Amino acid sequence: MPPLAYWTHDLSPFLLRFGENFGLRWYGLAYLAGFVGAGWLLRRYQSAGRSTLDMAAVFDLMTYLVAGVIVGGRLGFFLLYQPGALLHDPLILFRVWEGGMASHGGFVGVTAAMGLFARRRPEGLLRVADLVVTTAPIGLFFGRVANFINGELWGRTTDVPWAVIFPASPHPLLPRHPSQLYEAALEGLLLFAFMQWRFWKTECAKAQPGRLSGEFLLAYAGARAVCEIFREPDAALILGLSRGTFYSFFLIAGGVLLIALAGRRVSERKA
């Protein structure tokens, strides 16, 4: 039996509940907070002269991003983690109240959304992407906190003093790492601080379009890989790696490519 000192998770996924599966969920509020925070930052960039996206453009961009995150995250969850479920019951894709979002899928959806938005803008895709990635950790932070409140995506078993017993985890119930909070700290707070420092304290975004996006992908992949050490795999391993770690290698490749292309453009301009 686990020691009585360990806290048993008993948080409700609802802020307000009106029925068994209907109400105001913390998870939905997390997405709202992420989008509002991103929109506020984008407006602040424009006010400070660090962006050419005015209020109307920010509103349009946020509309694209909301669609990209939801469609990409939802499709990514089933294609990357539960492809059999989607084949067996295609309508499960629309039952969003049952949960199921994948950050890697969200990245693909956001990339597509930025591409569609940038076609109508003079800034181009890379400059738009460099702005967006500096705001993305806000949503990642609130999303991971919501994962913890929901008692999902728990960590591996452990005996650390701050371990938590998650009632929805496999029996017998054992203390586990609150890996959702580790991810909130690394993928959210730490990555946000790094991206804000790079954006405000350097001329990276102005001088090397695409570099900030590449750095974001590398930093996120590194943070995700560290957190995966403590997180219980939520699907079958691939080549002995958790899927979160395996899929992050594609982010690393994309990050390296973006940084290399940004450096190459600088060299060509100096030549």
- Cα separation, 128 vs 23, in Å, equals 35
DSSP reduced 3-state for 172: coil
DSSP 81-137: T-HHHHHH-GGGGG-GGG----HHHHHHHHHHHHHHHHTT-SS-HHHHHHHHHHHHH
pLDDT of residue 267: 75
The reported pLDDT for the residue numbered 271 is 62
Query: What confidence score (pLDDT) does residue 4 get?
Result: 58
The angle subtended at Cα 42 by Cα 41 and Cα 44, nearest 5°, is 60
Of 42, 252, 246, nearest in space to 139 by CA: 42
Helix (H, G, I), strand (E, B) or coil at 12: coil
Please tell me the pTM assigned to this model: 0.94
Task: Compute the CA torsion angle 208, 210, 214, 215 (nearest 10 deg).
Answer: 40
SS (H, E, C) 196-261: HHHHHHCCHHHHCCCHHHHHHHHHHHHHHHHHHCCECCCCCCECCECHHHHHHHHHHHHHHHHHHH
Task: Give the pLDDT confidence score for residue 268 in this predicted structure.
Answer: 73
How far apart, in Å, are the Cα atoms of 107 and each of 59, 131, 201, 206, 249? 20, 14, 25, 23, 14
- Residue numbers in the chain where pLDDT is lower than 50: 1-2
The pLDDT of residue 249: 97
Give the per-residue pLDDT at 174: 96
Query: Residue 88's pLDDT is what?
Result: 86
pLDDT averaged over every residue in the chain: 93
CA distance 49 to 56: 16
Q: What does the domain layout of the chain look like in residue ranges?
A: 9-270
Specify the pLDDT at position 260: 97
